[in-house]
Amino acid sequence: MRYATPASAKEAAGLMSKEKGAAFLLAGGTDLLVKLKMGMVEPDLVVDIKRIPKIDEIQASAKGFTIGAAVSGSVIGQHKGLKAAWPGVVEAANLIGSDQIQGRATLAGNLCNASPAADSVPAMIAAGAKAVIVGPQKKRTVAVEKVVQGPGQTCLTKGEVIEAITLPKPEARTGDAYLRFIPRTEMDIAVVGVAISLKLERGVVKKAKVVLGAVAPTAVIVPAAAKALVGSKLDEAALDKLAAACSAACNPIDDKRGTVEYRTRVAGVLAKRAAKIAFQRAGGAL
């Protein structure tokens, strides 16, 4: 195995595209090194992006935030501006693994690993996050929901590298939240994850986005669930409709963490709770 530390995303993309053998990108390494240890991957080349200038920084601007592909969960959790703007994204990122994992794990890595149960992905989608993808020839920006195409599958073509995740500046009276259910208190993989972002106008939900994780091969955007919230002040009838729409959108697997029936039911319950948190964060009164 060879190891390279390119000085730019473009150089990283060039190395990845030219490699004839198996090339893997290394950011936090919390997935790659486990796969390496397990013998699931045998890289000929590992391209470590962490020496690229600014790739481990969060840039705030009038448009929003640019989170470099090597920014760790712990750095995200300490960023006051990001926490104030998108608390749901921050809490989703910080739910991933232990403090040790948080010291390394990245949003871009969570996205590229493309696990159906990735915690940060539903939250990023609900917040309107985009991935800045650099290829050997050109750069493109893709909505996060278009990146993951199936378990372990992304839209990245050979040589393409995610350089950053962008989040828009939230509109006034916007709130987001992410909740997941796991069988333990900590250190487990989501049975269900729910991310909700909503915008209020005069105390009423004007816009909403509801995204489920761990209940289908990829994160699922549920327009019917968003519709249930719009125009409401989160009364019981709206919450019941939200829950029903979320449960109806589930297409989960059965495994040791939860049955199909259980995941389907819990999706609705969690959605109600997440909606209330997002509503209050947007300044709504319950």
Q: Which of 253, 76, 254 is nearest to 178 (CA)?
A: 76
Stretch of 25-33, 118-126, 161-169, 270-278 lying at the interface with other proteins (CB under 8 A): 25-33
Residue 96, C-beta contacts closer than 8 angstroms, at least 6 positions apart: 73, 102, 105, 110, 119, 120
Does position 38 bind other proteins by CB under 8 A?
yes
Closest CA to 239 of 209, 283, 275, 278: 275
Residue closer to other proteins (CB basis): 41 or 269: 41
41 interacts with other proteins by CB under 8 A? no
**Measured from the CB atom, is 37 or 256 closer to other proteins?**
37
192-201 β-sheet, strand order: 174-181, 192-201, 204-213, 220-221
Residue 219 sits at φ, ψ, to 5 deg, of: -60, 145
Residue closer to other proteins by CB (options 74, 259) is 74
CB closer to other proteins, 61 vs 185: 185
d(CA 64, CA 133) in angstroms, rounded, equals 18
Distance CA 46, CA 35 (A): 13
**Contact characters 89-128, other proteins, x per CB under 8 A:** --------xxxxxxxx------------------------
Cα 261 to Cα 144: distance, rounded to the nearest angstrom? 28
User: What tokens were used for 157?
Assistant: 């073509």
User: Least distance from C-beta 238 to other proteins, angstroms?
Assistant: 34
Q: Is 33 a residue that touches other proteins (CB under 8 A)?
A: yes
- The residue within the footprint of other proteins, chosen from 10, 16, 66, 72 (CB under 8 A), is 72
Select from 27-35, 112-120, 152-160, 271-279 the region that touches other proteins (CB under 8 A).
Answer: 27-35
Work out the angle at residue 170's Cα, subtended by the Cα atoms of residues 164 and 171, and round it to the nearest 5 degrees.
150
Q: Is residue 46 involved in binding other proteins (CB under 8 A)?
A: yes
21 binds other proteins (CB under 8 A): no
Judged by the rule CB under 8 A, the positions of this chain that interact with other proteins are: 1-3, 26, 28-30, 33-34, 36-38, 43, 46, 48, 50, 72, 74, 97-104, 185-187
